[in-house]
Structure formats: structure tokens, C-alpha cells
Chains A and B, each alone.
Chain A
Amino acid sequence: MEVRVRIPSPLKKLAGGQNVINAQGRTVGEVLQWLAMTYPGLQERLRDEQGGVRRFINIYVNEEDIRFIQNLETPLKEGDQLSIIPAIAGGAFFKRRVTLTFPPKLIKEPVIYTIGQRFKVVTNIRSANVTEHVGWVTLEIDGEEPEYLKALGYLRGIGVDVEPIERDIIE
């Protein structure tokens, strides 16, 4: 059974950068399992240590909350749409946030320091994963709109992949 799964922006990165994924499964539980196997980073974000869906994540099948249907046992049919939505939508994404992915040649460069020096922006690293070959950083950028845009332009210019984190519109 193929269904469409809408991924919230904060988890997009872990789902190969996709907003919508075509996933497989006969029930909501099976789809979550499929997602976790295909995109291993999603597992711990969606389910708690006991295997239940995290309390502040709501899952909707065709706009209906699965808690009103059969929870993880909710059956799916071809073409159903499953939406994963943080219960407290918004709020956390208060300042502008971007995810930066660095190519190997820039991993050792002080890129974030540089934008703070060259433009009137204040940066704040919220999460990051940097190894020898790959690096990404989620960055909060505070500052006037023109300075913010200039900073993004500079980053793209030197070869950093810049992806603004957008908020989710749930209704």
C-alpha cells in the first residue's frame, strides 16, 4: 500500500530533505516502521523509548487524528495522506533558522564566525553534526532582513547549501 506522508519542516532534514514521502504500509504503525527503516534518524524523533508515538507529535490520516481512529492500528488504503505534526506547532521557530550543509572543503573553515563578523547578524548554533567528510549545522540568525539576506547570499556564494526552515501550516 503506498501512502503519502507529510513531514514537518523540523524533521525534513532527516527525511532526505523531503516534505512529502511516498511510504509503504497497511497501517499507521507499519508506515512509521517503514519510515524508520528508510530514514533511521526519524525513529527516535517520532517514537519514545517504549515504542509509542511521542506525546507531543500528532499523526493525522486524511486530516483525522489517529487517536480518534485506531491509533497505530489505523488501517490505510492506497493514496491516503498521513501528516506528522508537532502538537505545539510553531513557537520554537521564533527567530529565523536555517540548516547549513557544508561541502568537505569548507568543513574546517570558520564560516559561521565569518558571517557574524561581516554582516550585522547574531548567530546561534542550535544543533550540528560535523565529521571529517560532512557537516551540517542548524543556525538561528537574528538581525535585520537585509543583513540576514546578505549573510545567506554570502554562504551560498562560497558553496554552503542553505535551507531556511519554514514553519508548518497545519490548517
Chain B
Amino acid sequence: MKFTKGLRCKECSREYPISPIHVCEFCFGPLELIYDYGKIRENLTRERIEARPKSMWRYRELLPVESDPTIGINVGFTPLIRSEGLAKALGVKELYLKNDAVNYPTLSFKDRVVSVALSKAKEFGFQIVACASTGNLANSVAALAAAGGFESYIFVPYDLEQGKILGTLVYGTNLIGIKGSYDEVNRLCSEIAENYGWAFVNINIRPFYAEGSKTFGYEIAEQLGWRTPEHVVVPMAGGSLITKVWKGFKELETIGLLDGVNTKIYGAQASGSNPIVVAFREGLDWIKPQRPQTIAKSLAIGNPADGYYALKTIRESGGWAEDVTDHEIIEGMKLLARTEGIFTETAGGVTVGVTKKLIERGIIPRDESILISITGNGLKTQEAIQDRVGHPVIIEPKLSDFEKIIAPQRKEREVRIQATV
């Protein structure tokens, strides 16, 4: 059954038939899917969703794929964790973590958008898929293209983390490192997209691709027992995810699966790449482009495509935008690892760090429900913290050697325990 009606310009509302296009010809605004929510409401119930396999495709009526999804059918439905350790460390009552660091198959939320983009690319009849990426998207497109029988071309800034390069090449893709920033990679890809008939997931397939992010929001609502947290902190790079989490919540309300949405959405950036935060602070409704300089490379986008809409989401929901320094990002990563046993990448350090800051400043109240988005896995960005986590103790294989190092450690611990008693 078909639940989409076409594409509509987010600016001037002109409509277009479903096709691999992303820009309005009249005013150059971005295009977005139009759904028949009345029909979806009739077809989709909580019970129906709950009876389906545990993947993001359990919400398929709300995704722009018409036939059965063909790519990434196991993606999503990642753990929603009720935090104990981190909640205590931050001094809050009700804290949740949505953990896409263990998303299938490439350990980031990008698997959601890519499985929609490639399923759609298959429907459109494309044989070659491509993307411009800061790393996580590269991993995901390479892996899902391999699984889906596509040829793929992937364009990244050449100085990415090794883990992200290796985690792309292994899938047998064509990886092209560009000597430039992500924004320059993106601009080049717009040119390439025009000259080659490829499905560029985040260019000409963007309206479809971006819809995949809504499932991050749907899952939060369902896993909390069909309600939304009062405060949700989301990382911002291009600014798309934050708008789609909000859209996901509002859609569930529209089709009657949520009784009201009382949620404030908070956008988190690194201080070295914070164009959306700056616009929020200065009360602007446009984005001043930047040249990013941060260890959070997956968020290093200086000219965010959805920056304006991210701002609008934050303001509409009554949330806030904030940034953290590279030092605070690393502290955030370590805090999450040491309180929850979750090793997130730098972007997760950003959301944890920003949440901490907003709680300390009283912007997020301590006695209300809070959710932190964890969108990527720390094993991919090891360089960022390799000198900041200590070193193993190396000894000879002798008990006496072990006793030499353990005795002072145990003593130190006893002193600490006595001090707290």
C-alpha cells in the first residue's frame, strides 16, 4: 500500500512527483515527503507495530519506501537504557540513553538513513550509489551497498580517523579522499551528482534518506511505553537528525499513537564547529558558515544544510543550543564509559558534555525525564582519546611483580573508602 503522495518544497510548498530530486525549481528550497496521514492512521496501531520484528522497518508506513524494504532490513531498534550511573554522576532523577553506538551493521545512526536511501535507490532503479561523508555515512553506505548488490563511490575528507577509512575500504567500495573540508567535499559531490547518474544518498536522494532518522524518534517513544521524554539532547552536524527526531514525535501524535508531545529538543555541537549554536545565541534565523576545527570530526560541518530547520525545531520545542570544547568532549566520552560501560565516539562526548553543562546551568531541570542521544561508536575514533585514558601496567609473569604493583593500589583504595566513611 502506498502512503506517500509526493514531494513538497519546505519553503514555497510547490509540489513534485516522487523522483530522485531534492531542490525546488522555483525557489531552490529543499524538498520533503508528503504523506497521507489519514490513511496511515487507519493502518497503523501500537499493537500492529509491537507485533512486528524489532527493526526500524516496524514503522514502515511512515517511511518513503513503497515495496518491501530490500536493504538493511535488520537496522535499528537499538537499546534504550535507563541510566543509573550517569544519572547519579549528573545528579538527575530520570535519565535515558538511546544507544545507536550498537546499531546494525556499522555502529552508528547512519545505518537508519542509508537503509531507506538504498531501498529507495533500488526502487528508482539505480545501480551505483554514492555519498559525501565525514565517516559514519561512508561506513554505512559501503556496507549496505555491498549487502544490497550496488556499486558504490564514497567521498570523504582525506584526513579522517583511520578506523573510519578502514571501516569503509573493507567493504570493497571506491573510496576517494578529498584534500579539503567536508563542506568542500559536499560541494564537489553536488557537481559530480549532476554529471553522473548515481544515487547520491545525501544529495539527490536526500529527501528520502533523511526520513530514516525519524525512526530514532519513533523508537524512543515506543521503548518508553508510548511517551516522549521531557528533554532530548541531539548532536548537530548538518542539522537533519534533530529536525527528524522532532518530526517523528509529532507524526506519532498526528496519527494518534502518542497523547501529546511535551518535549524540549536541545541541539549539541562542538565549540570548534558551532554555526547553529552561534545563530541560536545571536537570535539569527540564518547560519554564518564556519571553517570547523574540532576532534568531533563526525560533526565538523561548517555550513549545515538543515541548519535553519534545526534552529526552528529548537525554538519551536522550547529547547536550547549549546556547545562543548574538545576537552569537555573527551571528558564526556570517559564519563559515559566509566558510568555506563558505553564507549561512544566524539559525537556522543558532545551530547553527554552538553547535557552536563545544561543541567549544571539549570537549563535542563534535575527532576524531569532526560534522554541523551548516542549516535556513534568509540572504536571508530580511537585517535581522539588514545592519550587520555591511561596505559596498561606491564609486568613480568611473576607473582612478586604483581604484588609489588597491587599493594600500593589496594592501600590507596582503602584510604579512599575510609575517607568516604
Contact = CB atoms under 8 A, between A and B. Distances in A.
A114 B12 CA distance: 34
A90 B190 contact: yes
Interface string B303-318: 0010010000000000
Contact of B26 (A45, A95, A170, A171): A45
Interface stretch (B15-23, B73-81, B291-299): B15-23
A91 B308 contact: no
Given A92-B24, A167-B194, 6 more contacts: A10-B28, A56-B28, A91-B21, A94-B194, A126-B25, A171-B187
Contacts of B204: 91, 94
Interface stretch (A18-26, A29-37, A81-89, A128-136): A81-89
Nearest to B190: A90
Interface of B: 11-12, 20-30, 187, 190-191, 193-194, 197, 203-204, 286, 288, 305, 308
A113 interface: no
Contacts, number: 72
B54 to A, nearest CB: 35
Contacts of B305: 88
A105 interface: no
Contacts of A39: none
A67 B286 CA distance: 9
Given A67-B286, A89-B187, A94 B26 contact: no
B286 A92 contact: no
Interface string A38-73: 000000010010000011110000000001100000
Contacts of B24: 56, 92
A87 B28 contact: yes
A90 B11 contact: no
B286 A88 contact: no
Nearest to A71: B286
Contacts of A95: 197
